[in-house]
Amino acid sequence: MSVPAAYPALVRARQAGPERRPVRAIARALGRLSSRWLDPKFPYRRRALRRLEPRWPGAMAARALDALFGELTERKLAAFLRAELGDPRVLDGFRAARAGGHVRARGRELVLHVTPGNVPNPSVVGVVLSLLAKSASAVKLSGRDPGLLGLYLESLRRADPGLAASVRVLGPGEDWTAWARAASLVVAYGGDRTLEAIRAKVPGGTPFQGYGHRVSAGFFTAPVLSAALAAKAALDVWMLDQGGCLSPSRFFVGRGGVMAPEVFAGTLAAALGRLSGGRAAGAERARNIELVRRRLEVRALRAAALRPLVFRAGRWAVVLDREGTLAGGEGTVVVRPFRRPEEALAAIEVLRAQGEPLQAVALEAPGTERARLAEALSRSGANRICRAGAMQNPPLSWHHDGRQALASWLEWTDLER
């Protein structure tokens, strides 16, 4: 088995850098850098916006950076470490364990990250978590990488070269499979086929954390429907141009309240149109919207249903799907009305059976009903239940794909008395 030539240097940089520092010091350094990234005048932030704005125009890119670095401040990192590890100093040495004796956690020697191309945040989060774990990182960027990680690492090199030296982005054409063989942990994002392909390159004994395909949705009961809620829902769809696993493609909307689902759908479309500033749909998106519209038109005929409702606004279309058979995505948002919440829960189960597991759900319902539905959605596999308007601001402590973030990347040693 050949080890990549750059491997030993990266491991030495880890030994000389993060491994020698207390985790609190690493969190402080990273947190301070995040605060600078939150400053609109920070040159790296401005360069990043120029890089991201062609794909996520208007205020989208700035909001994405705020959501990302707002979760990576010193205070948030410290809180996150406490939430995941109890006593974060287990990463520095043995600490007293609650169950008696002592416990120590170590990050793996080298983590290979295979990053996604559709959203900018996970690559930065992955590197930050590796640094907190005092691991070295090799990063295989997606062919469609948005370019944020490169700038982040540049800013880290300036702010803290000792930390930055233990991260390496693989060059174009560099054999990532050699790194997959050498790494002590592989973290990858992708569709089922991609994850399978990556996993096939990882030796059997090496832990593999794959973050796969999942869908997100909104779930609003009849009494809470309002124009303000539609505006929040629109924000969740619009952010990152509906391109991430936290981007909702469907909204389950209750019937029988003051606002009918049909009106809600129209209000949602109008809000999306306003957010996009009247930008027209590109060719690919226009085709997708048109094909969804046709399918709906034909299905309505078959079901002898009412005329299909399609609300178009700029580059978006909101369709009212009374049968609940459409998927949404790529510029289309499906509003599926329900009379009883159980109908929507049953539809979610069908999705799960069809290979569309849930990620996040923006859940709005009055009082105890919200808690009851949250319980049901948790049973249905949702790993994040949040408020409308907050879908694209996941806290760092979010159990992505239902797992702990940092704790699952560590190796633990128990010292008994």
Partner 1 sequence: MDPRASALDRAILSFIGRYAAARPPDGEFGALALRLFEHQVRHNPAYRKFCEGRGVRSGRVRDWRGIPAMPASGFRELKVAAFPASRARKVFWTSGTTAAARGRHFLDTLKLYEASLVPPFERALLPDGASCRFFILIAPPREAPHSSLSHMMGVVARRFSRAAARYSIRGGRSLFDALARDLGRERRPVMLLATAFSLKAFLDHLASHHRKLVLPRGSRLFETGGFKGRAAEVSKTRLYRMTARLLGIPSAWCVSEYGMTELSSQFYDAVAGRPATRRRSMRGPAWTRTLVIDPATGREAPHGRTGLLRHFDLANRGSVIAVDTEDLGRRAPGGGFELLGRVPASERRGCSLAYEELTAR
Site residues (CB under 8 A) for partner 1? 114-119, 122, 142-144, 172-173, 189-191, 193-194, 197-198, 211-215, 242-245, 247, 249, 280-281, 283, 286-291, 294-295, 297-302, 307-308, 327, 329-330, 359
Minimum distance of partner 1 from residue 347's CB (angstroms): 18
Q: Please say whether the beta carbons of 117 and 194 come within 8 A.
A: no
**CA 56/CA 179 separation, integer angstroms:** 31
Q: What angle do CA 282, 286, 292 make, to 5 degrees?
A: 150
Angle separating helix axes 74-85 and 23-37, nearest 10 degrees? 140
**DSSP state at residue 363:** E
Residue number with CB closer to partner 1 (93 or 173): 173
Position of tokens 């009374």? 322
Question: Rg (Cα) of the chain, in Å, rounded?
Answer: 23
36-67: b (≥16 Cβ within 10 Å) or e: ebeeeebebbebbbebbeebbeeebbbbbbbb
Residue number with CB closer to partner 1 (115 or 137): 115
**CA 232/CA 228 separation, integer angstroms:** 6
Minimum distance of partner 1 from residue 237's CB (angstroms): 12
Q: Please say whether the beta carbons of 336 and 347 come within 8 A.
A: yes
Minimum distance of partner 1 from residue 302's CB (angstroms): 5
Angle separating helix axes 60-70 and 121-132, nearest 10 degrees? 20
Minimum distance of partner 1 from residue 269's CB (angstroms): 16
Minimum distance of partner 1 from residue 319's CB (angstroms): 14
Q: Please say whether the beta carbons of 289 and 328 come within 8 A.
A: no
Angle separating helix axes 23-37 and 148-159, nearest 10 degrees? 120
384-386 vs 358-364, strand pairing mode: parallel
Minimum distance of partner 1 from residue 3's CB (angstroms): 21
Position of tokens 């239940």? 385
Residue number with CB closer to partner 1 (12 or 279): 279
Q: Residues, the chain, total?
A: 417
215-220 vs 332-338, strand pairing mode: unpaired
Residue number with CB closer to partner 1 (240 or 406): 240
Minimum distance of partner 1 from residue 295's CB (angstroms): 5
Position of tokens 């990302």? 68
Residue number with CB closer to partner 1 (35 or 118): 118
CA-wise closest residue to 125 among 203, 209, 191:
209
Minimum distance of partner 1 from residue 255's CB (angstroms): 23
Identity at 331, one-letter amino acid code: G
Minimum distance of partner 1 from residue 296's CB (angstroms): 10
Residue number with CB closer to partner 1 (97 or 327): 327
Q: Which helix (H) or strand (E) element contains residue 60?
A: helix 60-70
410-415 vs 102-107, strand pairing mode: antiparallel
Residue number with CB closer to partner 1 (63 or 370): 63
Residue number with CB closer to partner 1 (300 or 388): 300
Residue number with CB closer to partner 1 (41 or 193): 193
